[in-house]
Structure 1
């Protein structure tokens, strides 16, 4: 791609990563531009809009002590301080380009601060960042959530703020099937819904994530930041075990698989597979 009025047209390493993937092309795709030094904010935003993926990331040298790399995360319409699947996908892309062995613990710098990532048997997992807003929603918002989701207020078992940067609010429903039955909602909130699968099912919970874009409300295939916030809520209130699994993306044809673990020190880890599907160069 050559763009007039840019900072240059030197080739830069590029990868498209399948994050939280099960079978091929079943997770959430992420575009990653490595060696992103010298790119302007405007060009990053334009390229993110051009890729038309939920997020595009740009890897840069770190500016904080202890960080291994710095990442900037863009949606087609703006920059995010933190997001989950871009964290795992960016870490995978960074690690794949290293000639040296990948360390067991990696530190990512982003606008939300330093985020620790560790290697796992399934791929990578990030430490859930602190919630910027937590606690129960008020009655008015609960009613608004129910209306937006096409539910009655009594259909929502519990609802909490689980905002770690993107602005998530989440609602707990009675079952995974109840989650899957929800139509595409309306409204400006970033809303996640979660419900338990029956005993013996391959996964413990089903999750869906909705967020507004200029084209309307979009459903995200698999969402690391939302699952991080939900895990802090559900484990913290005893509504989930310290280790559980999530399935996400059914309604949009994805097969996303998320693994949640809480360490003895209380750190919650959100993990899953990350696989490079496209690798090459871009000219910006």
Structure 2
């Protein structure tokens, strides 16, 4: 029996001693990234002016808005960089363009983005977009650990890297999100972050600090992670969670390498890491891993 836990990662700590998997945000499948040098409000929906209206419209449409900026010296805006994308399933994508004003975003088809349809808003983006949370006004630990990590990754990977607002899971700072697939990594030092980025650039994941894939229920993330570890399946698209059902004990069917597994995970309460840290408190215990009809998908 394997134990799948969330981190006991208190604000101000950075031990990396425990795994963070099955903790990626479950609600983010579609994305709107808007370059904004700051200052950033505590919550993105508190942004004022026309850009604030765009942010709130995105949230209402089911698209996750993130404010982004370059690490270090930041260019004045406008123009500002904008990305839209979709990270669920196999058909993941990003589009990007520069905008001269918030008015240029008024025609963005947010309903199409939320549904996973390319809106033709900008040019296809064929390189990863790497987001490091540095949202100090939301949680000081994100700035303390995220800002230096963003600087280091920028020195290595240049324009692929952006600082960003809250991505979920402050207790796992420093956090990294790899788009377009929506892969979340947490509790990162430089070595772990570089390993995650290098893996993503070759189309793989690394399991050590992988929190999960955005948009999947946490039990599905737990099942996927366990199957990846069991099979040694690191390719980003190698594993598919076909279904998940249950309430406190969950049963997932997971496809990998032409085989299907039934994975049973049980949810138990975890401990908060502080009075202000109430995210990602579930712990998952893997109760069973059963190989189903191996030949069914061959």
Greater share of strand: 1
TM-score (norm 1): 0.27
Greater share of helix: 2
